[in-house]
Amino acid sequence: MSEIKKPDIYKMNLPADLKKLSTAQCEELCSDIRKILIDTVSKNGGHLASNLGTVELTMAIHRVFESPKDKIVWDVGHQAYTHKILTGRLKEFKTLRQENGISGFCRPDESVHDAFISGHSSTSVSAALGIATAMKLSGDKTHHAIAVVGDGASTGGELYEGLNNAGKSDTNIIVILNYNEMSISKNVGGMAKYLSSMRTKESYQRTKGRVERMLDKTPVIGKPVKNAVRNSKNAVKNMILHSTMFEDLGFHYIGPIDGHNLEELEQGLMAAKAVNKPVFVHVNTIKGKGYAPAEANPGEFHGVGSFEIKTGNPDVVLSDSFSSIMGKELCEMGEKNKRLCAVTAAMKYGTGLQYFAKRFPERFFDVGIAEEHAVTFCAGLASMNYVPVFAVYSSFLQRSYDQLIHDMAIGGCHAVICVDRAGIVGDDGETHQGIFDVSFLTSVPNMRIYSPSNYDELRLCLHKAVEDDSGICAVRYPRGRDQSLYDTSDPVSTYVYRHIDGAKVLLVTYGRLANDLFTAIEILRNRDIKCDIIKLVNIFPIDNEVVDIMSAYDAVLFFEEAYYCGSISEKYASICPNVAQFAIDGFVKHGKCDVLLDELGFSAEKMADTVEGFLKDE
């Protein structure tokens, strides 16, 4: 293999063959991998800029370490596409984020090289420390647990909780910070650069370790000499190169390293491997490396739909979406209400808050990937009579359950949670499907939840939540556009009831499913089956008027795009024995939204079939 000039990545045994290649051959492979990334993501959508930035780093990790014996934990998995390519999934990579294809995130059930699931941020150090500790308990002193942390994840509080424990753990854990914004530790002159280069030499680390072990074994004078050397060394080093926070936490610090220089990367990682104690490796990379549109606009190419490679233009413009409508309406409300504030956890563009941020920068707050902090921060604003609106993805709000109860609900704070990506989100799979917010939000006392099915209802519910309600209010809405075909009457914030004379069956739903359920009623009518419908808008607390309506029917079928346990349908079923639940049981894999909804039984045709089958069995 080492004799060939240009390796064919499709004919290689990966990752083992990487160790047989020269640096020049690996650089050629990196170029090929970037083409594969751009071509695949342009068709399937996904995370592009972050993956283009980690090609060389991933290559170096797999050349220096031995996966899966060494455990690589990615934080978040949206920078691990090259890892997938280099660990036996190249031929399947074209199925990325497609139904029955490979996931856009790391999944241990997909490959033995995926050490830990990685859909949410800032978890890698905690997971890697647990793995490294298990290795130590098992007597494995050879292999390492490697946490690869993106700089976005470094804004999450859990990362620092993990670092605080990992630095003093005496385990074989290596934390690699993939940083692409600015240097963490300031370099001071030529001597600092020299010291940094010395620390990245494997021979220096091995010699240092041997000397320390020899002194430990030397009777009487060994440990005092070792301590004296260490103290004097630290004194000199701190005069020349300021100590980093990571060294203060107990890590051996290596870096900064050029994240696109394979030789420098491998040298630094070999040095880290030789330490056999907690090591922090600081790597500087360029987001979008190798693709001009992504380098120029890394934020726009962080997570993208399909796009044209030549121009970088996306196929779909998302200005018409529930997220953007919410953001624009909030701006109009902010003009009149000077105490209205908007908060995001590193998702300004994803949640539509870029409009508010531009118009009212002094009342807009991006707290980073720190949902727990965001909720308590909002509670603090509310305690001073400001009205905070926290826009957050459903699956990320899960992290702040304690803060919702302890910091908001008990204190009676008035705050609004805009729950974006509620329900099925599609291609990102289990870690991002927004199917659990109903279950945990309804367990919080004095919580009010709206679930609008169209833009007009969204605007109305937002005004109600901000201006009329008290306590905590959640306004939840799906990813994407309003595709309503029915119920174009004036919007309401309670419920819509459509009654047909003679109907003995009532169908109930809320949110996005309402549109398909109205279609299902038309399908059933053509089958000579009459059904009435209630579309809930204010889905919680339970509405006694709705209970009274339900009680008058022979059968009530409740369709719900949420987890079965703790669902709204479950609550109504506990009151009305004639209610049959049709909700989601378990996790939902990745795939296109319409396909997944159909598989779950929530397409118009499938709901009509369910109703017909239910009535036949009665």
Spatial separation of the C-alpha atoms in residues 77 and 576, rounded to whole Å: 44
Residue 459: phi and psi, rounded to 5, are -60, -45
- Please tell me which residue in 71, 107, 287, 421 is annotated as part of the active site: 287
- CA distance readout (Å), 130 to 68, 70, 136: 16, 14, 10
Spatial separation of the C-alpha atoms in residues 493 and 12, rounded to whole Å: 60
Asked if residues 163 and 246 have their Cβ atoms less than 8 Å apart, the reply is yes
Asked if residues 613 and 529 have their Cβ atoms less than 8 Å apart, the reply is no
- Please tell me which residue in 158, 247, 371, 372 is annotated as part of the active site: 371
Spatial separation of the C-alpha atoms in residues 353 and 328, rounded to whole Å: 8
Q: Sign of the CA dihedral 36, 39, 44, 48?
A: positive
Q: Which residues have CB under 8 Å from 220's CB, separation 6+?
A: none
Q: Which runs of consecutive H residues, i.e. helices, occur in 276-353?
A: 292-296, 322-336
Question: Is omega for the bond preceding 76 within 30 degrees of 0, making it cis?
Answer: yes
Spatial separation of the C-alpha atoms in residues 65 and 360, rounded to whole Å: 49
Q: Is 210 a catalytic residue?
A: no
Pairing of strands 415-420, 387-393: parallel
Spatial separation of the C-alpha atoms in residues 40 and 269, rounded to whole Å: 29
Where are any strands of DSSP class E within 266-316? Answer: 279-284
Longest dimension (CA), the chain: 98
Q: Is 287 a catalytic residue?
A: yes
Query: Position of tokens 């739903």?
Result: 509
- Please tell me which residue in 63, 84, 199, 399 is annotated as part of the active site: 399
CB atoms within 10 A of CB 325: 22
Q: Is 371 a catalytic residue?
A: yes
Q: Which residues have CB under 8 Å from 36's CB, separation 6+?
A: 85, 90, 93
| SS3 state at 89 | coil
Spatial separation of the C-alpha atoms in residues 287 and 604, rounded to whole Å: 42
Residues carrying an active site annotation: 287, 371, 399
